[in-house]
Each structure stands twice: as C-alpha cells, then as structure tokens.
Amino acid sequence: MPIRPILRISIVLITMAISLSCNNGGTMSQEKNKFQGIDDIPTPAWERLSQKKIYFGHQSVGNNIIEGLKKIEEKNPQIRLDIIRIQKPSRLENPGLYHSEIGKNDYPKTKIEAFVQAMQQGIGQTANIAFFKFCFVDITEKTNIEELFGYYAKTMEKLREEYPNVTFVHFTVPLLRRNKPSLKSYIKKILGRADGFFADSHNIARNKFNELIREKYAGKEPIFDLAMVESTYQDGRRCSFSVNGNTYYSLVPGYTNDGGHLNELGQRVVAEQLLMFLVSMGK
C-alpha cells in the first residue's frame, strides 16, 4: 500500500528533526590553557593569583560562574582567591576577585557604559585584571552586530589607553541551548514562523558577535572564550548545528536546567576553565 502524502511529510519532518538536533561532531580547537585541570596547578601559581586585584562585571550568568568558583574553592583549600561582592565599584584596596552586577539586560550598551564608570570610580586605578560579560539576552537576531561591536571595540581601546596598568580580558557572549527537536517546531520552521526565545537565529547572532571578538583580539589580547566552553562537552566534542551550510554552536544541554543559566555542572565546568585561564595569564 503506498504511503499517503500526509504520512510521507511526517516521516520527512521527523527525519529533519533528528538530523538538525544538537550535533556532537568536532572537537574544541581553541588553544588550551597550559594546565589540563585544577589539580595540575602548583601552589605557587595559586599564591600569585591570590595577590591579584581582579574585577568582574556581570549579570545572572556571571552569578552562576561566581557560585561555581565558590564551590571549587570549598573543595580546594590551596585556592585562596577571596571572592568579594561589591554594591558600588570603588578602589580595590586588597587582593581578591571583586564582582558586581552592571548595566541592564537587553541593553548591551548600558553594560559597556557601566564598565567604563566602574573603571572611573577607582577600579581602573587599582585593578590588575578587569573584565565584564554580556548576557545571552543582550545579543539577538535584532541586534546590529557590527554597530555594537564597533562601539565595544572603540570603548575598550580607550580604556586601555587610560588605564595601561590594567589587563583587560574580553569575554565571548554566552549561548542558549537549542530547543528540543519536535514535529511542531519543524513545521513552524517550514512555515517561516519564529521559534521564540530559543530560535536558532538568536544563537547565530551570538556566534557572529563572538567571531568578531576572536578575529580582532585572538593572539593580541586575552580572551576568555565563554561560548566555546559552554558549547564543549567534557570529552572535547562541540555542540553545534548547521544552517545554510554554516556551522554554529549552542550551549551543551547538560550544562543548564532552563536553557540559558548554568546548572551545578555547567557552573563547575566554566569556573574551572576561568580559574585556569586566570592562572595561565601569569601576570
């Protein structure tokens, strides 16, 4: 008996759903830290890090990372990096990792401006290392990627000139998990309807912004590639998807419970990489 048209379409859609889910192919190609894990870092390296004054401006995913750092420190007494939350940026009198929430979600320029203000309020005169991160909601398909990146790059260049003793670190934008494939979601794609908060178009925009960061700063200034860490399984495979022949990356599903914020595993994975990154800077 021949397959009826509706049934044939359903089979095709289900096949598409399977093929377009989070791919596990490929491995992380970014130059790795010289340390493979927390246990590889010698005590003198931790001691040097504990003497640094570090500032981190962030929002909710940043809080996830801070929680991961605290949990790692609880289990590793050799790490003596004081983590200090501040309400208002000011001069950093003692060593430690100082952090505060900056800007407003959905408005990325407010975070750039708040970071500048933090430098002007004393951070720039006293910090050894400083960085901030955007949130996933700050970059969507509606974002003018080139205009925002131009504003970011120009601002960071000015900060480097004004505060030559501070090492500024660039963070890539965090990603979202892809929607779980379903017949409904792929019918919506065929009909040209948006897939909401987790639409591929938003992660594509984040991937494009992140690539601009890598192209401009890789090999020249320090980059903590948060997006790469978030999209890399613990065995080194990448969580990727393809659109029109181009490969993009998304958050590993196992690192989140709600699709964007980091769960306990995701917090640990990112925090470990950040600690090794900071130690590897060697300044």
Between CA 191 and CA 139 the distance in angstroms is 25
Give tens-digit pLDDT for 43-77.
999 999 999 999 999 999 999 999 999 999 999 99
55 touches 130 (CB < 8 A) = yes
pLDDT > 70 fraction of the chain, expressed in percent and rounded? 82
At 26, which amino acid appears? G
Topology annotation, domain 30-281: Rossmann fold (3.40.50)
pLDDT band at residue 198, thresholds of 50, 70 and 90? confident
Query: What is the pTM assigned to this prediction?
Result: 0.86
Instruction: Kindly write down the DSSP assignment for every residue of 70-112, as one continuous string.
Output: HHHHHH-TT----EEE-SS-----SSEEEEEE-SBTTBHHHHH
Between CA 271 and CA 77 the distance in angstroms is 16
Q: What is the pLDDT of residue 12?
A: 33
Average of per-residue pLDDT values in the chain:
87
Rg (CA), the chain: 21
Q: What is the pLDDT of residue 26?
A: 54
